[in-house]
Structure 1
């Protein structure tokens, strides 16, 4: 369903139909074709069937909202260090773009499955969740022993999400950003509302998910992701 093909059909139909019939036909066609095009171009259809977040080409993408993915896809991360809590397709996506990725995962079996295909710039650490104490001291010990002290991107999409917010601010690099996935829940707002920080919310659908969610970008100072010098790409480049 390429745009050119659809536009050609629409042009011929408009020329042949009476105006009233054309307007009605166009309205119905738009109502039905638009969600199909969205699902095909974003990879939502494929993600749903595979039960794994992927683009239209089948490449791995994060399980964030599409507006957040599109925003991030325009930026350069080749000299950036990423810390993510909760690994998966996002680990593979970041590994292809960032200088380094440290992934902390709470599910041991899932962590090992990621290790089998991890890129050389990815470090995986399995840390179980203690739901009784909700302690993140094991996470602190891993970070203290790690070679990198500050991270340009910190993604909180797993583990003890609310407890990790404070820690994220402690190890965030200057001009860096914290990504809060499913930001509408987990007590994220309560943890950041009294902090001197900025926030951008990306609401929308996510790969293979029927409900809309929110991925939020949180930053303290001039975040590199918000640099106005970043070009606005063609929509086809984002969807690719």
Structure 2
């Protein structure tokens, strides 16, 4: 399965570079964010934050993304903490007052940091997985958060660590909840789960993203 994903990603990136698609990219950026054109463009932008950030879409289920968009629109002063940085970090920065995002991969952290260096409301942290710094980064950040995104490594541990820092009425977005290894932690966390399944950015198959209500 992993090999197939790597082949797909490499093929999509090669197609995305074709000069004849320049007009397609320009139209996609201006299209309905929840529509088919934007989603189709995201399929070719997989693992390319340079393309995903202008498209203004995270690598999540589309319906879940729309719900989070509405949630943040009603909270212009929202604080967000994110495990696992990417195009979602830029997407969140356009909708929240403050975004703190922690990333374990040094190369990816550096690459993304260059792309969002102009976003003053973002703190992008690198924490190695060899110690407790990654999972406990939310405690280092301090305070309460309106939204917590669990979309990186050690997700079950991150969810457990994050719960005391979730505001009353806040949300946790937990991605890829079709994976069996996450189910017991979600069921045990004490939050109500809305599990979205269907069209998702960056992948040609339906996928899961859950929103947990505090």
1:203 — aligned with what?
Answer: 197
2: CA distance, partners of 1:186 / 1:167 = 20
Give 1 or 2 for the bigger CA radius of gyration. Answer: 1
Q: 1:157 aligns with which of 147, 151, 160?
A: 151
- Is the contact made by 1:199 and 1:219 (CA closer than 8 Å) also made in structure 2? yes
1: CA distance, partners of 2:153 / 2:180 = 11
Closer/same/farther in 2, CA of residues 201 and 194 from structure 1, 3 Å limit: same
In the alignment, structure 2 segments of 5+ residues that lack a partner are 1-31
1:38 deviates by 11
- Is the contact made by 1:161 and 1:186 (CA closer than 8 Å) also made in structure 2? no
Is the counterpart of residue 138 in structure 1 residue 133 in structure 2?
Answer: yes
2: CA distance, partners of 1:202 / 1:69 = 10
Please report the TM-score for the alignment, with normalisation by the length of structure 2. Answer: 0.73
2:100 — aligned with what?
Answer: 102
Is the counterpart of residue 84 in structure 1 residue 87 in structure 2?
Answer: no
1:189 — aligned with what?
Answer: 183
In the alignment, structure 1 segments of 5+ residues that lack a partner are 1-36, 221-240
2: CA distance, partners of 1:78 / 1:40 = 25
1:40 deviates by 6.3
Residues 111-150 of structure 1: pairs in structure 2 closer than 5 A: 111-118=109-116, 119-130=119-130, 137-139=132-134, 142-146=137-141, 148-150=142-144
Closer/same/farther in 2, CA of residues 213 and 140 from structure 1, 3 Å limit: closer
1:3 — aligned with what?
Answer: none
1:225 — aligned with what?
Answer: none
- Is the contact made by 1:180 and 1:188 (CA closer than 8 Å) also made in structure 2? no
